[in-house]
């Protein structure tokens, strides 16, 4: 069991690299969504790209902190309301 955990961990350099990739992708998606807002069907495009940007931003911090620590931080009492509102809005697109 310990070998499986050791084999699945990422090096610090890999974590930072994927953090940067996800963070940049999140910013690009969010800016693109905002730019597409002015098109005729822009509201739907905005919703999709902005949501993808937020998901990418969350994924980026998961690479730095790890997914379990990220989830624990998101569901702390002082952040619970913001987390629930964000998740409800993301899930409303489905």
pLDDT score recorded for residue 34: 92
Torsion over CA: 51, 53, 57, 59 (sign): positive
Q: How far lies 80's CA from each of 68, 72, 73, in Å? A: 16, 10, 9
Q: pLDDT means per 10 residues in the chain (94 residues)?
A: 53 90 95 91 89 91 87 92 90 76
- The per-residue pLDDT for 20 is 95
State residue 92's pLDDT score: 82
Residue 1: the pLDDT is: 43
Q: Under DSSP, is residue 2 helix (H, G, I), strand (E, B) or coil?
A: helix
């Amino acid at each position: 069991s310990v070998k499986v955990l050791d084999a699945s961990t990422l090096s610090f350099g890999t974590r930072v690299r994927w953090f940067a990739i996800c963070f940049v992708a999140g910013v690009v998606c969010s800016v693109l969504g905002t730019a597409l807002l002015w098109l005729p069907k822009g509201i739907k495009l905005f919703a999709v790209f902005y949501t993808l940007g937020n998901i990418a931003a969350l994924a980026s911090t998961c690479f730095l902190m790890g997914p379990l620590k990220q989830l624990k931080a998101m569901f702390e009492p002082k952040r619970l309301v913001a987390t629930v509102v964000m998740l409800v809005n993301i899930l409303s697109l489905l």
